[in-house]
Amino acid sequence: MFSFLRTRRPGGTFVPHRWPTVDYVRQLSFFSAESVPPAVADLTGILAAPGQVVLAGSRSEQAARLSVVVDRLWRAEGLAEMIAEAGLQPEIARTDENTPLVRTTADPRLLVIARDWTLGAVKTVPPHWLPGPRELRAWTLAAGTPETDRYLLGLDPHAPDSHAALASAMMRVGIAPTLIGTRGSHPALRISGRRRLSRLVENVGEPPGNVEAFEQWPRI
CA dist., res. 176 & res. 191, Å (int): 7
- Percent of the chain scored above 70 by pLDDT? 85
CA dist., res. 135 & res. 130, Å (int): 9
- Secondary element (H or E) of residue 188: strand 188-191
pLDDT at position 31: 59
More confident residue, 33 or 137: 137
Asked if the model's pLDDT at residue 10 lies above 70, the reply is: no
Average pLDDT over residues 123-150: 97
Average pLDDT over residues 195-208: 96
N-term to C-term CA, the chain: 35
Q: Are 217 and 171 in contact (CB under 8 A)?
A: no
Q: Where are the beta strands (DSSP E) in 17-155?
A: 52-56, 63-69, 90-94, 100-104, 118-119, 122-123, 144-147, 150-154
Average pLDDT over residues 62-70: 97
3-state helix, strand, coil in the chain (%, to 5): 35, 20, 45
* Among the ranges given (15-24, 83-92, 124-133, 170-179), the one the predictor scored with the smallest mean pLDDT: 15-24
Cα torsion 104, 164, 95, 205: sign: negative
> What is the average pLDDT value for the chain, to the nearest integer?
87
pLDDT bracket for residue 6 (50, 70, 90): very low
pLDDT at position 181: 94
pLDDT bracket for residue 34 (50, 70, 90): confident
